[in-house]
Amino acid sequence: MLVLNAAEVRQALPMETAIEAMKQAFAALSDGRAEVPPRIHLPVRPHDGVSLVMPALVQDAQGDAMTVKVVSLFDGNPRRGLPRIQAAVLVLEADTGRPTALLEGATLTAIRTGAASGAATDLLARPDCKTAAIFGVGVQARTQLEAVCTVRSIETVWVYDPIASGVEAFFTVVAGQGPIPADVRPASTPQQAVAEADIICTATTSQVPVFAHADLKPGVHINAIGSYQPDVRDIPPETVVDALVVTDSRELALNEAGDLIQPIRNGLIDADHIHADLGELVLGRKPGRTDAEQITLFKSVGVAVQDAIAARAAVAQAERLKLGQRVNW
């Protein structure tokens, strides 16, 4: 069995590769070439956590991809000096069920989540986007920014988080790295962050909207990845109503995405307000943006098909680069 640690996963799954892998993943999902059972939620209430079990099988032109991911989110981990997200991805041989690889899953999750927003940005954002705004300063925020800057020539980035020290640390890590510009600025308010933003990414644990709809610039594209529970939202309902809404999975979003569920419950929209799944755009079955002033919104809750295709790409690259450890199983 091949074992890849976090650093090896990063090396084996560069963002440009990951974005193309996510397009393949969403296309397979929309084309009926993926089996994605409902993920299992295991509440761990005594420790303020939840563990999710996410299996997937994909059969496409590249071959079979089969994985099971266990991802845990424990809010108390930072107080213990541990990342909030812990995960592992087990790769299985589709025709035998034999385990063939084990990947550090928090890094893979961050990269593939960022890459999904990169794919959505590539398909929905205006070609002339120059300014981005990021809400949140965690690992997910970093890969969101890297992905956006991979598909658009971003010149200025505004970052907002209520904890100022986190913003300062974020600058140190991301400014000038790879495709990210050196011009990364702290926003003192959400309004300042979004006022000139062509692209917005929300990667927070907020349970309420993180910006005001009235502050948005016409033609903005938004990647919303922060909320994944029915009672949590970080996008204003007015924005959802006005936007062309694209999901990673319509079925999952209608069960888990508070950003959509709550406006539906309140009678502001219905399920048909969802324009398309991202895979339908990849396949050319639905159009994307139709004019320069249209607001577009990609709502992602995360789909196991992303893990399967990301892991397949990472393992193939790791084998070419001779990364990781081989252990007897």
The torsion defined by the Cα of 80, 82, 87 and 88, in degrees rounded to 10, comes to: -110
In this prediction, residue 207 carries a pLDDT of 86
**Quick one: average pLDDT of 273-294?**
97
Distance (Å, rounded) from C-alpha 116 to C-alpha 3?
A: 24
Distance (Å, rounded) from C-alpha 249 to C-alpha 213?
A: 24
CATH number for the domain whose boundaries are 2-109+305-326: 3.30.1780.10
Q: At 8, is the pLDDT very low, low, confident or very high (cuts 50, 70, 90)?
A: very high
* Nearest alpha carbon to residue 312 among 24, 29, 53, 5: 24
Q: State both tokens at 139.
A: 């690992």
Distance (Å, rounded) from C-alpha 10 to C-alpha 52?
A: 22
Give the H/E segment covering residue 233: none
* Nearest alpha carbon to residue 239 among 255, 223, 252, 256: 223
pLDDT tens-digit map of 44-61:
999 999 999 999 999 998
pLDDT tens-digit map of 61-84:
899 999 999 999 998 998 999 988
Q: At 227, is the pLDDT very low, low, confident or very high (cuts 50, 70, 90)?
A: low
| Residue 184 pLDDT greater than 70, yes or no | yes
In this prediction, residue 137 carries a pLDDT of 92
pLDDT tens-digit map of 145-173:
999 999 999 999 999 998 887 888 898 88
Q: State both tokens at 82.
A: 């541990």
DSSP three-state, residue 126: coil
CA 155 to chain centre: 22
Antiparallel, parallel or unpaired: β 2-4 and 99-104:
parallel
Which residues make up the CATH 3.40.50.720 domain(s) of the chain? 126-301
Q: At 275, is the pLDDT very low, low, confident or very high (cuts 50, 70, 90)?
A: very high
CATH of 126-301, one of 3.30.70.270, 3.40.50.720, 2.60.120.560, 1.10.3720.10: 3.40.50.720
DSSP 8-state symbol, 138: S
pTM, full prediction: 0.94
Cβ atoms of 193 and 171 closer than 8 Å: no
For 75-120, strand residue ranges (E) read: 85-92, 99-104
What residues contact 157, with CB distance under 8 A and at least 6 apart?
Answer: 131, 132, 133, 134, 145, 149, 180, 181, 183, 184, 185
| Residue 228 pLDDT greater than 80, yes or no | no
Antiparallel, parallel or unpaired: β 63-74 and 85-92:
antiparallel
Which residues make up the CATH 3.30.1780.10 domain(s) of the chain? 2-109+305-326
| Residue 226 pLDDT greater than 80, yes or no | no
